[in-house]
Copies of this chain bind each other. A is one copy, B any other.
Amino acid sequence: MIRFECDYAEGAHPRILEAMMKTNREQTPGYGEDDFCAKARRIICRACGNDKMDVHFLVGGTQANTTVIASILRPHQAVVSASSGHIAGHETGAIEATGHKVITIPAENGKINAKQVRKVLTDHWSDSSHEHMPQPAMVYISQPTETGTLYSRRELTELSALCREYGIPLFLDGARLGYALASPENDVFMADLAQLCDVFYIGGTKVGAMFGEAVCIVNSKYKEDFRYHIKQHGGMLAKGRFLGIQFETLFRDGLYLEISKHAIEQAMRIKEAFTEGGCEFLFDSPTNQQFPILNRMVFTELAKRYTFTTWEKLPGERTAVRFVTSWATRPEHVDALIEDVKRLLMLYGDR
């Protein structure tokens, strides 16, 4: 079986393992207070053009989301998210477990816009008995979104302006950030995030690291005592050095962008193959996740050689599925897939 169901099927980028090996016998303090972490923080701040941010390294995405949100909201406050947002549906209620409601907005192409969020805010504040409802007090988005789409700089700027108007934080989940940055359609850069967001994080796990997410706190208001929250949520790795080493490696010499580009190239090859074969897509994604809609025969045949995710059952025995590439995707695997896709669509395609 060749795996395309996620971007964490392989290990870590070889340079990361090498860096770990090379420094393995050095002694360092624990809990992220070592020199590797310090260096990684500086490199990330530089890459974001913002040396005032606080940068913290956490182990995983659910942890990063939970820790950031719980550290900021008061008990009666809620976070606003797309209904397809990761925190809304795929973290086993981790946000609710810290006491907060996730107020969901129907996503359009995976995204929410400033107009929708403004409605949530004005509906709340214009209701005379608003204290009977959770208070929307934070906006959560992800870049790329769960469905591979991208916020444009303009969309992000509008969301940011709205949040500032209401005095609430904008939090951006960048678990797959590399694949946004490397997309030809992207116009949002790291420096933009470090200006427009209050908090965001740079995903490692899905972009070549063994594990790890770099949480960047831009707005000073949310910096205080953040390490307590990391510890409380089980995210303070004893051997924190391994997080520092990974992010130092990823952000030195442009490795992060370079390996993300590779993933995008392979994803575009897959997209093209399906498109040329006449396949429709559930979402028009310019990043490393592709969502072709397969009929029963094509699905069945592809499933014999490849793993991919079933995303949504559609009428007429059609299924929207997800193919994912990563830094580690082998071009020869994509070659094989493309050949099969072409052949199968020729034989069983709807066109």
- On whether A206 and B238 interact (CB within 8 A), knowing A97-B75, A227-B131, the answer reads yes
A67 to B6, CA, bound (A): 26
Cβ proximity bits A52-82 to B, threshold 8 Å, 1 near / 0 not: 0000000111110011001100111010000
A: number of interface residues (CB 8 Å): 77
- One complex includes copies of this chain to the number of 4
Cβ proximity bits A1-24 to B, threshold 8 Å, 1 near / 0 not: 111011011111010010011011
Q: Would you call B11 and A24 a contact (CB within 8 A)?
A: yes
Partner of A225, one of B23, B74, B102, B239: B74
Partner of A91, one of B24, B91, B229, B232: B232
CB distance from A134 to the nearest CB of B (A): 4
A234 to B241, CA, bound (A): 20
Residue of B nearest to A175 (CB): B238
Q: Would you call B11 and A239 a contact (CB within 8 A)?
A: yes
Q: Would you call B76 and A11 a contact (CB within 8 A)?
A: no
Q: Would you call A234 and B235 a contact (CB within 8 A)?
A: yes
Instruction: Determine if A100 is an interface residue (Cβ-Cβ < 8 Å).
Output: yes
Partner of A75, one of B8, B26, B71, B89: B71
A159 to B184, CA, bound (A): 51
Instruction: Determine if A285 is an interface residue (Cβ-Cβ < 8 Å).
Output: no
5 pairs, A vs B, C-beta closer than 8 Å: A75-B232, A76-B231, A93-B232, A99-B99, A132-B231
| A contact residues vs B (CB 8 Å cutoff) | 1-3, 5-6, 8-12, 14, 17, 20-21, 23-31, 59-63, 66-67, 70-71, 74-76, 78, 89-94, 96-102, 129, 131-135, 205-206, 210-211, 225, 227-239, 241-242, 307, 328
Smallest CB-CB A-B distances: 9 pairs:
A63-B234, A11-B24, A76-B228, A93-B134, A92-B232, A131-B227, A3-B27, A92-B231, A8-B238
